Amino acid sequence: MPFIKGQSGNPNGRKQGSANRDKRNIYLELLTDVLNMYKNRSYYVYYHINSETNEVVYIGKGKNERAWKFNSNQRSEQWHQYFENNQIEVKIVVVNLLEEEALEIEKSLIKIKNPILNIQNKIF
């Protein structure tokens, strides 16, 4: 049946806007899936570097501001002593990780680089 101008609907029998709504819904579902996929990827791996020697002295995993929390009670006594006497830079190495991925990367980097604060505290 030919489509006649002024007739409601479209030649495929759908209401106008229905195809656009379907495309929007598919797009929103896809966007939601992508956002959910990255929602849990909030971890990163970081280095604490001695500013004078450029030596990596600590490797850690964290999320939010963890890498910059120098007054945290979650740090070891050796860590606090070292940081009281040295200038430290933070370098974020890898981002958008699941916690398990961050832990594996952290362990691997500690084995490769042997940073003094991780080794002293046997954090690997």
Contact predicate 67/106, CB 8 Å: no
Beta strands in the chain (DSSP E): 43-50, 56-62, 88-97
CB count within 10 Å of CB 108 equals: 13
Distance separating alpha carbons of residues 29 and 35, to the nearest angstrom: 10
Domains observed in the chain: 43-120 (3.40.1440.10)
Walk along the chain (124 residues) and give the pLDDT tens digit of each residue. 444 545 555 555 555 567 777 888 887 888 877 766 667 789 999 999 999 999 999 999 999 999 998 877 888 888 889 989 999 999 999 999 999 999 999 999 999 999 999 976 554 4
